Amino acid sequence: DLYNRGILERIPPPMTTDPNRLRAQAKRVMRPEAFDYVAGGAGEGATMDANRLAFRQWKIVPRVMKPASPRNLKVELFGEQYDTPILCAPAGAQEVYHADKEVGTARACAELNVPFIMSTASTSTIQEVADASGSGGPRWFQLYWPADDEITASLLQTAWDAGFRVLVVTLDTARMAWRPHDLDRTFLPFALGQGNIVGYRDPVFRRKFAAWSDGDTPEESPMLAARYWLSEIFSGNNRSWEELSLLKRLWPGPVVVKGIQHPEDARLAARHGADGIIVSNHGGRQVDGAIGSLEMLPDVVAAVEGQNIPVLFDSGVRTGADIFKALSLGARAVLVSRPILYGLGIAGRDGVKHILASLLADLDGTMLLAGVQNVKDLGTGNLKKVAYGG
Ligand code: FNR
């Protein structure tokens, strides 16, 4: 048991698991541009704050004298069994946080059988991540949906051939939001301008970029590639629900939509064939002033009830209690994001594993102490909404 070993054997942990101190520790060791990119949000950070406040409004009401051992944390998603109800959220540019980059994160996830969701903006290649995950590592692919259908098809083909089985398409990022930190630090050119994100490696992208730039490769002209990606391929790409069928045609596995907040969008996603929904506001990095993500979870769950569409959740998950709350409000599983990136920034692959294992141990302990044996038994009866924060 991780906690008892920690306190009895005095094994010094590689990092704290207190979410606020973890952030501070990461700030001390990460490059300022990289730390600000991870920690920062859109606008004044109001939605990032709301994400945490939304968790604080729900309180766990523990039960006693209920048999709660051994715990069962297993969940089923799209016909696959997973040991635990957490996934690693997609996050790009990991090379900038630590030399272990996405392959390190993916390997830590594989060791714990946690699905790794690989971002289109990753700095490791699709094949490197597939090799790092090995045969047992569940891997999902996240798409920033290009405006160009040929590039989309090519990226998806590469990911499917490399063993990625679930597609996550992020819908809340038709363009990057106004993120003052990144403007202040000029981070984006710094990260995307290395010429090596997954999107740039795609052969169709390379051919089109060469035509657009008079024969350049992204390696020769990384800033130009970043410009082409952001302005031609990615930015302002407003799709309609009808176009989801294109992805359904191109991807043989389940297609999950990420970035849903409004229950009407959840209904539309279901009607247009989405196999799963991720309630997320991108960690407060897109619409600043948007509602805290957890606030919308019960409404989205209600909107697709009875349709066999699992609802996943992210934005603000920091502790075992947070996972307990999100599952109680109807999420099948949660995506963990910034804590993993801080773990990576501090100690690479080992840091990611430490963060994931600690979160799971924390969830396990919370369930025991609240009298819940199986994550399937979590429900609104385990919570009460209160009017005070704290
Ligand atoms: C992200 N996120 C993200 N999402 C996505 O679909 N594709 C991506 O490439 C990225 N990249 C990314 C980079 C960084 C540095 C962060 C912090 C986030 C969003 C991510 O998947 C998730 O939705 C949020 O991070 C959840 O919020 P919290 O829990 O981290 O606050």
Q: How many CA atoms lie within 13 A of 280 on its CB side?
A: 30
For residue 76, being part of any structural domain is answered with yes
ipTM of predicted complex: 0.99
Question: What pLDDT is recorded for position 313?
Answer: 99
Question: What pLDDT is recorded for position 189?
Answer: 60
Q: Which residues contact 134 (CB under 8 A, 6 or more apart)?
A: 110
State how far the Cα of 101 lies from the Cα of 97, in Å rounded to an integer. Answer: 7
User: Do residues 278 and 313 touch, judged by C-beta distance below 8 A?
Assistant: yes
For residue 46, being part of any structural domain is answered with yes
Rounded to an integer, the average pLDDT of 162-171 is: 98
Domain that holds residue 129: 2-374
- The percentage of residues in the chain with a pLDDT greater than 90, rounded to a whole number, is 84
Of 143, 337, 352, the one to substitute when testing ligand 1's pocket (max ligand atoms within 8 A of C-beta) is 337
Question: What pLDDT is recorded for position 195?
Answer: 80
- Its pTM stands at 0.97
| Catalytic site positions | 282
Rounded to an integer, the average pLDDT of 319-336 is: 98
pLDDT band at residue 233 using 50, 70 and 90 as cut-offs? confident
For residue 68, being part of any structural domain is answered with yes
Q: How many domains does the chain have?
A: 1
For residue 388, being part of any structural domain is answered with no
- The CATH number for 110's domain is 3.20.20.70
For residue 62, being part of any structural domain is answered with yes
Of 285, 294, 312, 315, the one to substitute when testing ligand 1's pocket (max ligand atoms within 8 A of C-beta) is 285
Rounded to an integer, the average pLDDT of 233-255 is: 91
For residue 25, being part of any structural domain is answered with yes
pLDDT band at residue 235 using 50, 70 and 90 as cut-offs? low
Ligand 1 neighbours (beta carbon < 6 A): 37-38, 51, 89-92, 119, 121, 142, 170, 258, 280, 282-283, 285, 314-317, 337-338, 341
Distance of CA 342 from the midpoint of ligand 1 (Å): 12
Q: pLDDT (tens digit, 9 = 90+) per residue, 179-206?
A: 888 777 766 666 777 788 999 999 999 9
Q: Which atom of ligand 1 is nearest to the CA of 37?
A: 15
DSSP 11-64: ---SS---HHHHHHHHHHHS-HHHHHHHH--STTSHHHHHHHHHHHHEEE----
What does the mean pLDDT of the chain come to?
A: 94
For residue 285, being part of any structural domain is answered with yes
Distance between start and end Cα atoms, the chain: 29
